[in-house]
Amino acid sequence: MRDSDTFVTFHKALMELSHDSNFIGQRRHLKLEALTALCGRLMGVERVSVWIFPPERDRITCETLFDGHEAASSGEPCASPATSAAHSTDPSPISLYRSDHPNYFQAIAEERIIAVDDAHTDPRTASFNPDYLTRVGVHSMLDTPVFEGSRLSGVICLEACHPRQWTLPEMSFAVAIADTVSLINTHERWMNSKRALDYISRFDSQTGLANMDSLRERVSHLAEKIKRRGQGSLALIWVDVDRLKTINDGLGPQVGDAVIAEIGQRLRSLRLQGKDLLARIGGDEFALLIRNHTKADSIGDTALQIQDVIRQPIRVAGQSLSVSASLGICHLPEDCQRARELLRGAEAAMYHAKHLGRAQATVFDSAIQISAQSRFALERELRAAINNRELDVFYQPILDASGKRMVSMEALVRWNHPNRGWLAPIEFLDIARGGGLMYALGECVLTRVCENWREAGDRGLQLPVISVNLSSEQVLVAELPDRVKALCAEHAMPVNALQFEVTEDSIQGDFNTLAGVLERLVEAGAELAIDDFGTGYSSLERLKSLPFSRIKIDRSFINQLPDDEDDCAITLSILGLARGLGLMVVAEGVETKAHEQWLVEQGCDFLQGYLYSKPLPFTELIERFFRGTETRGRSPAPG
């Protein structure tokens, strides 16, 4: 047969196999068995095997072996140290080590194909004799690399037990088989990543329960089903664990996490009529969806069971803790018609229960609806304020240890509400977060900071570095660094004039995305600080792996300095940790000379608080701190 005819025959057979629906639906190991069998049959090769690199990449291990003699059950088979049948998954397959065969490993990494007529004498494969070649009975070898994406992940090995000169069609076919395995590997990796991403995006990593996205999807599906059929009902019970922050502050976040995990397990174990979905929807919040069994007496009993099981003492770290929960209940279709309204109604009822004194269960009603409507109206107004760029920024100076020289200043968002006047972040950030407005709000703040920087430059004023807060909703958006650079370029503001502050809780998301975003911000010139340090939970591993240059001690630890021994101990430990990691420290909430003196004596680098200045509007800041410093032309970039 001519080479061209052989080439066509080989590749036609491979195409037919790889496009067969049965082959496509098979598991990976069955696909490898089919491919190696096809290769061995068409090329008349006694042995065809797939080898893989482990993570250490110090060896290759036989994963799948096709032995033509054994498959045909005729003739004298080649010895098979890797398997005892034509195809097998022996628990102790043969491995070949880089340290024993450096020439081969170098060749497979650098060459697209290794065609060896005499494996015993070829310098790339001679080291396999006698431990492998003689024992297995191999004379000629044709090897080609397998990839997973762009990473070398293994080898396809064709072994002939008799002298053989490899033809061009045979080498082409071996490469095609290897490329097919590479595609299988890449697809397998993609599917595994997709499954992992689906899990991360739909389930809470701490409790294993469904998350808010899963809850929304399920409620939407059932609400649409009820609307379509004209029958059925839902009740959503919003569960908020009371005073979890007190536990975190007093006993540490690890204890708080253990409490949440235990409550999640208790709620999961509850046997309830109509129980459809249990989700963890926030740091200290759960939601339970009840289907059809939603009458008042049934839901009342369910609420009592939830509160009773949560109220049972929890043993953590050698202590017995008693906690309670506030519950909000909303019905569909009695109280609302849409999934979004059901979620909001249950949440509003929960907040009402907290206002009544906690450990209460409240059913959504008209009075709560009015309160909720007010909250939703505020959300609409905030959305409009963000879209119309009506939010403003106040600035609070950050001084060096002398308490006299401003080294930077923090940008703090403010909203001048048309009816309620100036609102601080504490009055609307929860609403922004609940309405999915945090990313847009953050961009609005950064835009105003850039505008102020340009205005100062036009007046010849040299502003110090400006610290801008980033929310968890921002730091997990891969496009954030590009957006920051674009805004800075638009307003002629260098990126190195910015420092971004990220809370501990914000660095608990997907590490690869988070690290990529933060590293690109630093590469662009910005600095990074951990904000409100000590109030959240951040592992030392993450702290040292992320490019932070500053730690900001939360004001709650500064208030009672130097009289409170616990606050002194916590602050000293943070200072020691920062020195160990090579980070600078900013103390927030410095309000008295006693605060200042103690912090300076302990080596705190920077100070921020009302002792020096409250947050000021931009014009007032310029008047107070930069009056008389104007120069001609634009101010230079910070050093």
Return the pLDDT at 376. 74
Identity of the residue numbered 121? T
Lowest mean pLDDT across 36-40, 88-92, 154-158, 162-166: 88-92
Question: Ramachandran region of residue 230, left (φ > 0), alpha (ψ -120 to 50) or beta?
Answer: left
Return the pLDDT at 342. 92
Return the pLDDT at 88. 44
Cα distances (angstroms) measured from residue 244 to each of 256, 284, 285, 356, 538 = 7, 7, 10, 18, 17
pLDDT at 71 over 70: no
Q: Which of 395, 525, 406, 516 is nearest to 467 (CA)?
A: 395
* Section 368-390 average pLDDT: 81
* Section 525-537 average pLDDT: 80
Structure-block tokens of residue 407: 């080294």
| Higher pLDDT pick, 357 / 583 | 583
Whether the bond between 615 and the residue before it is cis, its omega within 30 degrees of 0, is no
pLDDT at 135 over 70: yes
Taking the CB of residue 388, how many other CB atoms lie within 10 A of it? 9
pLDDT at 541 over 70: no
Interaxial angle between packed helices 253-269 and 296-311, expressed in degrees from 0 to 180 and rounded to the nearest 10: 140
Q: Is 632 exposed, middle or buried (0-12, 13-18, 19+ CB in 10 A)?
A: exposed
Structure-block tokens of residue 431: 């609403």
Q: Give the separation between CA 559 and CA 543, rounded to whole angstroms.
A: 25
**Average pLDDT for the chain:** 85
Pairing of strands 584-587, 606-607: parallel
3-state helix/strand/coil string of 280-343: EEECCEEEEEEECCCCHHHHHHHHHHHHHHHHCCEEECCEEECCCEEEEEEEECCCCCCHHHHH
- The contacts of residue 233 (CB under 8 Å, 6+ apart) are 226, 291, 292, 294, 331, 332, 333, 334
The share of the chain scoring above pLDDT 70, in percent, equals: 89
pLDDT at 637 over 60: no
pLDDT band at 255 (very low <50, low <70, confident <90, very high): confident
Return the pLDDT at 147. 86
Q: Which tens digits make up the pLDDT trace of 271-307?
A: 998 999 999 988 889 999 999 998 988 999 999 999 9
Range(s) of the chain covered by CATH 3.30.450.40 = 3-199
The length of the chain is 639
Q: Give the separation between CA 266 and CA 308, rounded to whole angstroms.
A: 10
Q: Give the separation between CA 126 and CA 117, rounded to whole angstroms.
A: 12
Are the C-beta atoms of residues 529 and 501 closer than 8 Å to each other? yes
* Section 197-209 average pLDDT: 78
Return the pLDDT at 508. 63
Which residues make beta-bridge pairs with 417?
421
Are the C-beta atoms of residues 406 and 625 closer than 8 Å to each other? yes
* Section 119-133 average pLDDT: 87
pLDDT band at 218 (very low <50, low <70, confident <90, very high): very high
Return the pLDDT at 234. 94
CATH of 212-364, one of 3.40.50.2000, 3.30.70.270, 1.20.1260.10, 3.40.50.12780: 3.30.70.270
| Higher pLDDT pick, 505 / 4 | 4
Cα distances (angstroms) measured from residue 240 to each of 39, 306, 611 = 62, 11, 37
| Higher pLDDT pick, 294 / 69 | 294
Q: Give the separation between CA 380 and CA 178, rounded to whole angstroms.
A: 57
Q: Give the separation between CA 483 and CA 412, rounded to whole angstroms.
A: 20
Identity of the residue numbered 66? F
pLDDT at 196 over 70: no
* Section 535-564 average pLDDT: 80
Return the pLDDT at 436. 80
Range(s) of the chain covered by CATH 3.30.70.270 = 212-364
Identity of the residue numbered 430? D
* Section 147-155 average pLDDT: 84
Helix or strand run (H / E) with residue 606 = strand 606-607
* Section 245-252 average pLDDT: 67
Structure-block tokens of residue 287: 């939601």
CATH of 382-625, one of 3.40.1180.10, 3.20.20.450, 3.40.50.300, 3.50.30.30: 3.20.20.450
* Section 144-170 average pLDDT: 89
* Section 323-351 average pLDDT: 90
Which residues make beta-bridge pairs with 527?
499
Whether the bond between 562 and the residue before it is cis, its omega within 30 degrees of 0, is yes
Range(s) of the chain covered by CATH 3.20.20.450 = 382-625
Q: Give the separation between CA 360 and CA 296, rounded to whole angstroms.
A: 16
Identity of the residue numbered 130? P
Q: Which tens digits make up the pLDDT trace of 15-62?
A: 888 888 888 888 888 999 999 999 999 998 989 999 998 887 888 998
Q: Which tens digits make up the pLDDT trace of 431-465?
A: 887 678 889 999 999 999 999 999 999 999 989 99
Q: Give the separation between CA 194 and CA 589, rounded to whole angstroms.
A: 44
pLDDT at 68 over 70: yes
pLDDT band at 493 (very low <50, low <70, confident <90, very high): very high
Task: Look up tokens 């949560």; give the residue.
Answer: 310
Taking the CB of residue 493, how many other CB atoms lie within 10 A of it? 23
Q: Give the separation between CA 627 and CA 403, rounded to whole angstroms.
A: 19
| Higher pLDDT pick, 539 / 209 | 209
Domain 3-199 of CATH type 3.10.20.30: no
Are the C-beta atoms of residues 236 and 287 closer than 8 Å to each other? yes
Task: Look up tokens 């000629």; give the residue.
Answer: 140
